[in-house]
A and B are shown apart, each in its own frame.
Chain A
Amino acid sequence: DSGVTQTPKHLITATGQRVTLRCSPRSGDLSVYWYQQSLDQGLQFLIQYYNGEERAKGNILERFSAQQFPDLHSELNLSSLELGDSALYFCASSVAEGGYEQYFGPGTRLTVT
């Protein structure tokens, strides 16, 4: 157990819908990262927040957005869902901004039908 929690574990929804994934970092960690894992794209970095501020963006679609709240939990919002958005979504956390030693949560499996 890494100490990072994610909810829900599984999510099944229809195309065009909007969902919110939630992540709580390890106690003391200020950085949260979101990653998408799919068979064709592999593990891809989406976005990073540090202490409530966006720090870096990766291959995140405009339909996706995220935020980090004062209690440091983070939410990833996915809208106008397409079949291709079906994937495992992981969040990871680390102590500092620099990205060293990222610990992953158990992931949310999103299925878009």
Chain B
Amino acid sequence: GENVEQHPSTLSVQEGDSAVIKCTYSDSASNYFPWYKQELGKRPQLIIDIRSNVGEKKDQRIAVTLNKTAKHFSLHITETQPEDSAVYFCAASGTGGGADGLTFGKGTHLIIQP
């Protein structure tokens, strides 16, 4: 089945700086890669996603890039703000569309230092 590795496990950045979180996946058939943000005690919240026919997608301060050849994708957050502090999870769908559900990485705890 699909395996998703996520790095780093903890990331501390100064407010206003950029943050990058990286993930690799194992199943070349995967074609959907969402990112979720989870605050303490809350639900995972979908913040951005990308499909395999696209190399990059941007939404305001958040962007995701995908390299299908290398089987890795990344989340980029620019101009970080205190409210960006949370745990971020990457995920991949194992059979190209989600019929297996999402396989999640272990999460990255993003800390924004004031």
Q: Real complex partners, A and B?
A: yes
Which residues of B are found within 8 Å of A98, using beta-carbon distances? 32, 93, 97-99
A106 to B39, CA, bound (A): 12
Q: A43-B44, A90-B44, A107-B43 are contacts. A100–B101 as well, Cβ < 8 Å? A: no
Which residues 92-108 of A have a CB within 8 angstroms of B? 94, 97-107
**Complex: chain A residue closest to B93, CB-CB:** A99
- In this complex, the member of A55, A99, A106 whose beta carbon has the largest number of chain B beta carbons within 10 angstroms is A99
Is B103 among interface residues, defined by CB-CB distance under 8 A? Answer: yes
Is B89 among interface residues, defined by CB-CB distance under 8 A? Answer: yes
Which residues of B are found within 8 Å of A100, using beta-carbon distances? 32, 49, 51, 93, 97-98
B49 pairs with A33, CB closer than 8 A: no
CB 8 Å contact bits of A55-80 with B (1 = contact, 0 = none): 11010000000000000000000000
Q: How many A-B residue pairs have CB under 8 A?
A: 72
A85 to B107, CA, bound (A): 21
A102 pairs with B103, CB closer than 8 A: no
A55 to B94, CA, bound (A): 14
**Contact partner, A104, options B43, B97, B99, Cβ 8 Å:** B43
B85 to chain A, nearest CB (A): 19
Q: A42-B107, A43-B89 are contacts. A99–B102 as well, Cβ < 8 Å? A: yes
B43 pairs with A33, CB closer than 8 A: no
**Complex: chain A residue closest to B103, CB-CB:** A45
Which residues of B are found within 8 Å of A55, using beta-carbon distances? 99
Interface residues of B (CB under 8 A from A): 32, 34, 36, 42-46, 49, 51, 89, 93, 97-107
Interface pairs (5), CB distance under 8 Å:
A43-B107, A97-B97, A100-B32, A101-B34, A102-B34
